Chain A
Amino acid sequence: MEKFSEILFQPFRDFWQWFVKFAPNLMAMLIIIIAGLILAWLIRLVMLRILRVINFDTWSDKVGLTALIRKGDVWAKPSDFFGYAVYLLLAVVFVMIGLDALQIKVIDNLLSQFLLYLPRALSAILILIIGYIIAGFLSRGVLIAAVNSGYHHAKLIAEAVRLLFIILVLAMALVELTIARGIVIAAFSILFGGVVLALAIAFGVGGIDAAKRIIEKAREEKKEEKGRDIEHI
């Protein structure tokens, strides 16, 4: 009977001993997570202050960042959005650090993988955001330059530039994330090269007659009209 009670209560004793040994880790995890969340919240508040002082929302409007987040159906101010994004990121990081305090091997492995991948994920997000801004800027510059040069398909040219640049940015982000690196590089080379070649052929072959007409017209105009060109300044 004594043996039976031993068998019956031993697991409870073991569990209690394990719990007594594990409880500090659990406490540490809870403290790290709660303190981390409070710290993340405070960092968010400081960041919001700084973003407002430097007129981040106006800058975002100017460079097209606001338009980008609106496309993602986010209607908060860019400063609020980025403040919240940073808070979430920090919260995830603190939760992972908290879980590490439990010293469970599976979680340790998961955490080390997460921490190793985190810089790459952040770099990819940064590449996408900066790439989008640059694509918008380049496309607008090309549109204005093409309009001022008298091209009738200025919008098409600007959109082609935006598309090519976005393809380049997406490929860069995927390479950074190490997702099927070989396939991404090969696909990008084929796609980018193909688009450029197609455009070259389209403008080159398709535009021969148009270019001829433009040059002939310009020559005729020069022959017909006497005098010099207008001076703008």
Chain B
Amino acid sequence: MEKVDIIIGIASYNNAKTIGHVVRAVDAGVAKYFPDKKAVVVNSDGGSTDGTPEVVRNTAFDHSAIFLSHPVYPAHRISIPYNGIPGKGSAFRAIFERAVEMGAEACCVVDADLRSITPEWMELLLSPVIKRGFDFVAPLYNRHKYDGTITNSIVYPMTRALYGHSIRQPIGGDFGFSGPMAEFYLKQDVWETHVARFGIDIWMTTEAIANNFKVCQTFLGAKIHDPKDPGADLADMLLQVIVSLFNLTEKHFEIWKNIRGLRDIPTFGFRYHVGLEPVRVNVERMLDIFRTGVKDLKPILIEILGPGDFGEIDALIGHPDKDFRFPIGLWVRVIYDYALTYHRKKMSSEHLLKSLVPLYLGKTASFIMEAADIDHDGAEAEIEKLCREFEERKDYLINNWI
């Protein structure tokens, strides 16, 4: 197979409406920032029925409109169907395969439903690899303070507490990585697990950190994309992401048990604030599911949390909506207890993780009410407090791990 320098992967499934914009931005970015590199856009498609691969192949881009001074050539494009479990992870696996086969020096993956991607994203995701020798580039975004609640309340604080790396968007979804990193990913035997689906993002980030690859993050601006598929169930997303997080916690115990403190990681890009779309939240419904869940799932929750912590949660259901607050110390104990129960294999992982949904919604509702009157920086300060709580209570997880 012909050797290339850069591979840009786009995982898609029925994204005909948006993928044209993504391909144009990628094309322009590669042409503008890496004109002397040989690049290929790999669209890994999950069997779209709306003509997504055709859009990828036929998207035309008038380079003369933005490149006035020199002639440029569009990146070669290929569209491939992937095999295995349907999901983002399987699509990425096909991209890693191409990267290794083509001997790519640097790669990046971007979502097919992005509306806010610009040509600069290519430079921001690929330059740290090509010019600075990094192996893994995590994204940093401007997001609405209510968005990314699984990231903010579980994945970011726990990953940071365990591995001591402050990667703010460990499951951001748009990553840059080196050829050796792609080869490492491809060699792992995880493609029949939740990593093949939504678990891919946390898996990529954690494996990069835990295996001492050179990691950085880069500011990409706002992340705006098409509304998610309404069929994408919250419980399934939570299950796939958290099972992957807990599997990694299991796998890397010997590494994270000795890690203390926080290591700053290099951050690239010019940070700025942008206006973001308003977000619709229904706190009443979240609290309703929380209260029903605590009442109906009592035996399961006692088995996981023990009577003490369950008692504290049970006491919360009597609070009126406006006064409802989920204490952060209690939340950290809840997540660590779920990790311990998963480790001890005391019940089916699906039941275990799906029983977390009502508690997660209670925590999310609490955060939304706390953050209602504060700005983006204030919301970040609240998340920082939660992270410190995770770090301070890490010994609880270690001491009970046996």
Known contacts A141-B351, A144-B354, A230 near B296 by CB under 8 Å:
no
Over the window 122-149 of chain A, the binary record of Cβ atoms lying under 8 Å from chain B Cβ atoms (1 yes, 0 no) is: 0000000000000001001101110110
The answer on a CB contact under 8 Å between A230 and B297 is no
B interface bracket (residues with beta carbon within 8 Å of A): 35 or more
Complex Cα gap A58–B358 (Å): 27
The answer on a CB contact under 8 Å between A231 and B280 is no
Please report the total number of A residues contacting B with Cβ < 8 Å: 26
Interface positions, chain A 49-66, Cβ under 8 Å from B, are 58, 61-62
The answer on a CB contact under 8 Å between A147 and B171 is no
Complex Cα gap A169–B298 (Å): 27
Q: How many pairs of residues, A versus B, come closer than 8 Å at their CB atoms?
A: 92
Complex Cα gap A225–B173 (Å): 28
B281 contacts the other chain (CB 8 A): yes
B207 CB → nearest A CB, Å? 19
A226 contacts the other chain (CB 8 A): yes
Please give me the residue from chain A that is nearest to B278 by CB atom. A227
B151, B235, B289, B357: the one within 8 Å of A233 (CB): B151
B252 CB → nearest A CB, Å? 22
A219 contacts the other chain (CB 8 A): no
B contact residues around A150 at 8 Å (CB): 285, 288-289, 292
B contact residues around A163 at 8 Å (CB): none
The answer on a CB contact under 8 Å between B238 and A147 is no
A170 contacts the other chain (CB 8 A): no
B198 contacts the other chain (CB 8 A): yes
Complex Cα gap A133–B114 (Å): 45
A71 contacts the other chain (CB 8 A): no
The answer on a CB contact under 8 Å between B148 and A148 is no
Between A and B, 25 residue pairs with Cβ closer than 8 Å are: A62-B347, A62-B348, A140-B300, A140-B351, A143-B297, A144-B300, A144-B351, A147-B293, A147-B296, A148-B234, A150-B292, A151-B292, A221-B282, A227-B278, A228-B277, A228-B279, A229-B228, A230-B146, A231-B148, A232-B148, A232-B149, A232-B237, A233-B171, A233-B173, A233-B241
